[in-house]
């Protein structure tokens, strides 16, 4: 009887291990898809800014201000500053 339970628990452990691996793989795929979507959105934002001279001037001004005025930069949300500084606003 003990041997019967051991075999079944071994089967269950293998099944559970396989299912957990499948779930982990699915989570990784979903995270990659989300990262790809965010990257596409960011590239779209860059293109939208570059194509509008008014927006381009504003964001170039922000980049210059953030690069040269550390006191001002400290007062602004760090995530916003990081996002603005990541923008590639050079003409393509």
What's the confidence (pLDDT) of residue 3?
Answer: 61
pLDDT tens by residue, 11-59: 777 887 888 899 989 888 888 888 889 899 999 999 999 999 999 999 9
The separation between CA 68 and the C-alpha centre of its own chain, rounded to angstroms, equals 27
pTM over 0.75: no
Pure H helices in the chain: 2-51, 53-68, 70-75, 78-86
Structure tokens at 2: 């003990």
């Amino acid at each position: 009887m003990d041997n019967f339970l051991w075999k079944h628990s071994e089967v269950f452990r293998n099944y559970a291990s396989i299912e957990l691996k499948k779930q982990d793989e699915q989570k990784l795929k979903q995270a990659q898809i989300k990262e790809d979507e965010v990257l596409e959105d960011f590239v779209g934002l860059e293109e939208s800014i570059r194509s509008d001279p008014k927006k381009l001037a504003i964001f170039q001004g922000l980049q210059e201000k953030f690069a040269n005025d550390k006191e001002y930069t400290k007062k602004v949300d760090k995530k916003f500053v990081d996002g603005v500084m990541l923008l590639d606003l050079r003409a393509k």
